[in-house]
Amino acid sequence: MVRRAQLFITCLGDQFFPGVLQRMVGLLERLGVQVGFPAEQTCCGQPFFNSGYWSQARDLAAKWLRVFGRTEGAIVSPSGSCVDMVRHHYPRLFPPGTPEHRLAIETAARTFELTQYLAHELKAIEVGARFPHRVTYHASCHLLRGLGVREEPKALLGGVQGLELIPLPGEETCCGFGGVFSVIYPEVSRTMMEAKVQAIDSTGADVVVACDAGCLMNIAGGLRKAGSPVRAMHLIEVLTAGGGMP
């Protein structure tokens, strides 16, 4: 049986991380998955939902469900946050008993964050990557507490040849991104981000890995501002490395 997966690239992935998405396609295909890309997808509506604009979020959720609802196979995304939106909040946006509510529940059940998909659906922990560097891992909040994914990303990193995983102090503490929070309360966001950057620097790692575009934008920007040599990378970049630094 051919495994099929639809890419849910997320708007942040689409705008800022084309390389991560390309590598994600390569990784899935290497693992024998036939990858599809519904090109009509835009944004899942999470920024609107989290800011309280539920009627706008509902429009975008309905749109997303129209695009992905008619696809087959798993829906896979490189973002815990957007998957959490689809899985846990879409059903809440539509009254029980409506066709959208039913579609939301059906579609949510086959929507996975990448590490969930790799670890639980494909049962692939060693994906043939080689990355001889010191790496530390930041747990993105919605992946960790929204989806309950704690060990999978670290298990995947553990399966990478040559990689030394260094624990990050405060691994599960929020980096201060928080979507609109970073713009509504920039001073608090900065304090939290700076604490995260300091913790990352203290590990002596070459690379910090996370599984969410939002956290990566925040942390990578913070590292650059602090003049830190540490690079922020999406897990996919490490899982597709062949020995060098991408």
Question: Distance (Å, rounded) from C-alpha 240 to C-alpha 246?
Answer: 9
Q: Which stretch binds other proteins (CB under 8 A): 59-67, 69-77, 109-117, 157-165?
A: 59-67
Question: Whose Cβ is closer to other proteins: residue 55's or residue 97's?
Answer: 55
Question: Whose Cβ is closer to other proteins: residue 149's or residue 163's?
Answer: 149
Work out whether 1 is an interface residue with other proteins (CB under 8 A).
Answer: no
Work out whether 125 is an interface residue with other proteins (CB under 8 A).
Answer: no
Among 182, 211, 233, 240, binds other proteins (CB under 8 A): 182
User: CB of 179: closest distance to other proteins in angstroms?
Assistant: 8
The number of C-alpha atoms within 13 Å of 89 and in the hemisphere containing its C-beta is: 22
Please measure the distance between the N-terminal and C-terminal CA atoms of the chain and give it in whole angstroms: 33
Among 34, 98, 161, 202, binds other proteins (CB under 8 A): 34
Contact map string, positions 85 to 114, toward other proteins, x by CB under 8 A: ----x-------------------------
Question: Whose Cβ is closer to other proteins: residue 11's or residue 160's?
Answer: 11
Among 167, 186, 204, 243, binds other proteins (CB under 8 A): 186
Among 45, 78, 80, 91, binds other proteins (CB under 8 A): 45
Work out whether 209 is an interface residue with other proteins (CB under 8 A).
Answer: no
User: Which chain residues interact with other proteins by CB under 8 A?
Assistant: 9, 11, 13-18, 21-22, 25, 34, 37, 39-43, 45, 48-57, 59-60, 63, 89, 141-142, 145-146, 172-174, 176-195, 217-218, 220-222, 224-225
